[in-house]
Amino acid sequence: MQLRNIAIIAHVDHGKTTLVDKILHSTNVFRSNQETGELIMDNNDLEKERGITILAKNVSVMYKDVKINVIDTPGHADFGGEVERVLKMADGVILLVDAFEGPMPQTRFVLQKALNLNLKPIVVINKVDKPNCRPDEVHDAVFELFFNLDATEEQLNFPTYYGSGKNGWFNDSLTPREDILPLLDGILEHVPQPKIAEGTLQMQITSLDYSTFLGRIAIGKVTRGKLVENQPISLVQADGTIKKSRVRELYIFEALGKKKVTEVYPGDICALVGLEDFGIGDTVADFENPEALPITYVDEPTMNMTFSINNSPFFGKDGKFVTSRHLRDRLMKETEKNLALRVMDTDAADSFLVYGRGILHLGVLVETMRREGYELTVGQPQVIVKMIDGKRSEPFETLVVDVPQEFASKVIDLVTRRKGEMLIMETKGDMQHLEFEIPSRGLIGLRTQMLTNTAGEAVMAHRFNEYKPWKGPIPGRNNGVLVAKEAGTTTGYSLDKLQDRGSFFVDPGEEVYKGMIIGETNKPGDLVVNPNEGKKLTNMRASGTDGAANIAPKILMTLEECMEYIQQDECIEVTPNHIRMRKTILDEEERKKYQKMLKTEEVG
């Protein structure tokens, strides 16, 4: 049977998952009367809510008697580890580029990986129906990008298709049509059949799946030899250990699901049941003469956060899993399938240091755990500092901001205050395109400030660049916080009286505890306040009414916004129903003593 393996890569929001939808519909995967909805591939709750792809996924379609395995990849820089490993399964890539925005930093990052693996590229310029779009300029920019990434002569000669995924057409010219068949024909024509090497069995595990019935499932592409049900095999692990095992069941991808088969031929992507203790990058090889494939190395993490058990007064009210053993087991389980994540023990038995690729990467992990019923406390995200050539060095990132021209000066001011340096400034239509180099520390909390200062118009993207010498202190949050003085229930009377001191993260009638952060002050410096005071009632009638208290609604913050907001001495309590910010040391006197001790140490 003829085969094509293709990965779809693009920057976040350029339309990868929508394109996969159209491929599925065009190849009649669904019955004509079947309700499918949109963004079929984003089947995880978090993906649906955020409108982003987090996990790479496989589907396969049949077109003109050729099986096409399609791999949908995440576009966000924090999930780059996910993309790097799945590209190993593909023989060609569709590079999807927005007809207005053009190639973005993440496009460059993923394309570099694809070109290094010598994959055949097809360029698709999407959203040509948008106003202000500039498909010809974007085509030139993509060519320039390929050239800068040292693409080979053959790779530079890439075919280009134009269209609109939303309106369901793609063509090799700008003429609109009814379907995406020219693109499917292009895949058959330009993407090579998988190369089959001679020799014994080899399959590298590039992804994992889990089923409550079958246990852990290994997914990868059979590069040579063939796999048969019940066949004895050797599992060659990353450290060179060889384990003997047996294939219990085999599945290939068919449409949106898996189909059980008795054998898998080289070049096809399959799922394998029956292996134990395997990791990503391990090789399934011949029983008698095992030969390993080179291991996939994933870029190092750039940020870490402390995860510890929930030790607030509200401990155990919401969650099912609250002990350090639960927390440890869950984090270790996550490292098995999340390649860019590392977990390390700390001096405290109930705290763990978790390393990841960025705030979104770590935030998605915390959000997933919270939905599974875990209670935990997470600290402020910190960048990972290394000593390089005797100098203290920190990670730097390339930051790209597209913003209306009237806000450009505010953006430049914000980024330069956080030690960013401007590299490029150019006009794209009525938008200003700015590129900076900025320490990763400077990005923490930047998105919220950027959106506030640009009336929500700024579009920002960033990706890790390299380690460079430490840039010095970066100013943090400008204002202090309002901290609850004692436990109790907030009252409208009390909050009304405190309104001139700042804005609140709580509403009247909410349970609070001593040391919990309940709002932000109007000026620098923290303030300990009592939000629980009730009105003193007398038997004299007052002329006013209690109903006249006009309290502004509380500020709602997402988990990522809280992670960017907190300072060194603060943390976030995360439970299935609540996200609360608090001081790490709850008692005010203890906090003062600790601050004094720190100052003494600094002076000493």
pLDDT in tens, 512-533: 999 999 999 988 888 899 988 8
Q: How far apart are CA 113 and CA 351, in angstroms?
A: 35
Nearest CA to 204 out of 123, 117, 145 is that of 117
Q: Can you list the alpha helix ranges (DSSP code H) found in 343-407?
A: 359-371
Confidence of residue 55 (pLDDT cuts 50, 70, 90): very low
pLDDT digits (tens, 9 = 90+) for 206-227: 777 777 677 778 888 888 888 8
pLDDT digits (tens, 9 = 90+) for 140-193: 888 888 888 888 888 888 888 888 877 888 888 888 888 888 888 888 888 888
User: Tell me, what's the pLDDT at 34?
Assistant: 42
129 marked as part of a ligand binding site? yes
Per-residue pLDDT averaged across 309-321, rounded? 86
Nearest CA to 574 out of 360, 363, 356, 333 is that of 363
pLDDT of residue 82 exceeding 80, the answer is no
Distance of alpha carbon 231 from its chain centroid, rounded?
38
pLDDT of residue 549 exceeding 70, the answer is no
pLDDT of residue 283 exceeding 50, the answer is yes
Nearest CA to 561 out of 401, 451, 409, 407 is that of 451
Q: Of 506 and 253, which is predicted with more confidence?
A: 506
pLDDT digits (tens, 9 = 90+) for 58-81: 777 788 888 888 877 765 555 555
pLDDT digits (tens, 9 = 90+) for 4-43: 888 888 766 666 667 777 777 776 654 443 444 444 444 4
User: Tell me, what's the pLDDT at 341?
Assistant: 81
502 marked as part of a ligand binding site? no
27 marked as part of a ligand binding site? no
Is residue 118 packed enough to be buried (19+ CB in 10 Å), middle (13-18) or exposed (0-12)? exposed
Q: How far apart are CA 150 and CA 143, in angstroms?
A: 11
126 marked as part of a ligand binding site? yes
Structural domains of the chain sorted by starting position, each given as residue range(s) with its CATH number in brackets? 2-190 (3.40.50.300), 202-285 (2.40.30.10), 386-469 (3.30.70.240)
53 marked as part of a ligand binding site? no
13 marked as part of a ligand binding site? yes
User: Tell me, what's the pLDDT at 105?
Assistant: 65
User: Tell me, what's the pLDDT at 517?
Assistant: 92
Would you call 484 helix, strand, or coil by DSSP?
Answer: strand
The share of the chain scoring above pLDDT 70, in percent, equals 86
Mean pLDDT check: name the lowest of 98-107, 322-331, 579-588: 98-107
User: Tell me, what's the pLDDT at 14?
Assistant: 61
User: Tell me, what's the pLDDT at 155?
Assistant: 84
pLDDT digits (tens, 9 = 90+) for 559-568: 888 888 888 8
Q: How far apart are CA 17 and CA 568, in angstroms?
A: 38
The share of the chain scoring above pLDDT 90, in percent, equals 5
Is residue 220 packed enough to be buried (19+ CB in 10 Å), middle (13-18) or exposed (0-12)? buried
Mean pLDDT check: name the lowest of 7-21, 414-428, 580-594: 7-21
Q: Identify whether the C-beta of residue 508 lies closer than 8 Å to the C-beta of residue 495.
A: yes
Distance of alpha carbon 489 from its chain centroid, rounded?
36
User: Tell me, what's the pLDDT at 8?
Assistant: 83
User: Tell me, what's the pLDDT at 81?
Assistant: 58
pLDDT of residue 195 exceeding 50, the answer is yes
Nearest CA to 559 out of 584, 582, 579 is that of 579
User: Tell me, what's the pLDDT at 573?
Assistant: 92
Q: In Å, what is the CA distance from 565 to each residue of 25, 58, 308, 406, 441?
A: 43, 37, 19, 27, 13
Q: Identify whether the C-beta of residue 446 lies closer than 8 Å to the C-beta of residue 475.
A: no
14 marked as part of a ligand binding site? yes
pLDDT of residue 389 exceeding 50, the answer is yes
pLDDT digits (tens, 9 = 90+) for 341-380: 888 888 888 889 998 877 777 888 888 888 888 999 999 8
User: Tell me, what's the pLDDT at 65?
Assistant: 82
User: Tell me, what's the pLDDT at 581?
Assistant: 92
